[in-house]
Amino acid sequence: MTRLFSPLDLRDTTIPNRVMVSPMCQYSCEQRDGLATDWHRTHLGSRAVGGAGLVMTEATAVEPRGRISPEDLGIWSDEHADALRPITEFVREQGSVPAIQLAHAGRKAATSRPWDGHDPLGPDEGGWAVVGPTDEPWPYEGEAPPTERLSVEEIESVIDSFRTAAERALNAGFEVTEVHAAHGYLLHEFLSPVTNTREDDYGGDFEGRTRLLREVTQTVRDVWPDEKPVFVRISATDWLPDRESWTLDDSVRLADRLGVDLLDVSGGGIHPDSRPEQAGPNYQVRYAERIREETDLQVGAVGGITTPEQAEALLANERADLAIVGREHLRDPYFALHAAETLDATEEVESPPQYRRAFGF
């Protein structure tokens, strides 16, 4: 049996293979209301048809001001859960596990979509007041909108938003929930000394800066059923070696304290100067590998995974437990089925009967 097409058991949930669709923003809520559309159903459903073991939504905002753009997906009301339910049902019918990433964009919120410039939006352009650990805004090249420093009471409200979002996600039929604490968004902003210069219980030293993420993760775990897994996505490093920043050592130190079932290991995003030390195939896998070696957690690896052979090798060599494939899934919704053909693993995959005449199953 190939490692890529072996099942992964997390609590009582079995992921049928180790291919995960990475959360990728679609910026496609037509009415700017955060409600899932036919685009989301087609995008996520086609990757399930394509054989991925776990299909995760894009960053899904736990409150309106937590969206990156006005067109982002949300889950801050029962109506949002109702819109997502047909998607989870379809994904499950294809034999895949439906998953959701719960997110808050923090000071990187209220921007236009990438193809519209990805610029900050003022109130007259559909934007809103953004929040962060301090009032220091994201360093845009042009004028940045004001950022409001979250008070302790407002932080408690954010934690509650993650709790109610998790409850709605469960009602919508998701099997796995992931807390987004990477890429310079709100929870990462609290982790990193680059953006968190608070001097209260949510800032200062490592203990204070990690407190919000630990409390969010705990409140999600409290409402998520014991038999279902919880993930966290982190930026393992800020990629800012010349200044005080979040490092891989910090990530290793934090990992076992989160109480989650799998760590989704990415990197960067905290500042415009944040750049990877190297790029190319598997360029972030070494972060996942070290966390896996030095903690008790299972890990998912991301970054430049584009071929079946790559994905199989990083799992077979015990560098990670899950291959998280992003852009290649945009290019090829049927990545997992093509991988099964390439790796001569067609007997290990349940392909859609409607498509069998096109694949070697």
State residue 153's pLDDT score: 98
Crossing angle of helices 78-93/38-49, nearest 10°?
A: 30
Q: How far apart are CA 220 and CA 348, in angstroms?
A: 34
What one-letter code names the amino acid at 279?
A
| Tokens at 227, concatenated | 């038999």
- Residue 185 catalytic? yes
Query: So what's the pLDDT on residue 63?
Result: 98
Residues sharing a CB contact under 8 Å with residue 17, sequence separation 6 or more, in sequence order:
4, 5, 6, 7, 8, 51, 52, 53, 336, 348, 349
- Cα distance between residue 109 and residue 200, in whole Å: 24
Determine which one of 185, 202, 287, 334 is catalytic.
185
- Grouping H, G, I as helix, E, B as strand and the rest as coil, residue 260 is coil
User: Bridge-partner residues for 178, per DSSP?
Assistant: 101, 231
pTM tops 0.85: yes
Is it the case that residue 204 has pLDDT exceeding 90? yes
Percent of all residues in the chain with a pLDDT value above 90, rounded to a whole number: 93
The 10s digit of each residue's pLDDT in 54-93 is 999 999 999 999 999 999 999 999 999 999 999 999 999 9
**Tens-place pLDDT, residues 8-51:** 999 999 999 999 999 999 999 999 999 999 999 999 999 999 99
Q: Is 55 exposed, middle or buried (0-12, 13-18, 19+ CB in 10 A)?
A: buried
| Mean pLDDT score of the chain | 96
pLDDT digits (tens, 9 = 90+) for 172-187: 999 999 999 999 999 9
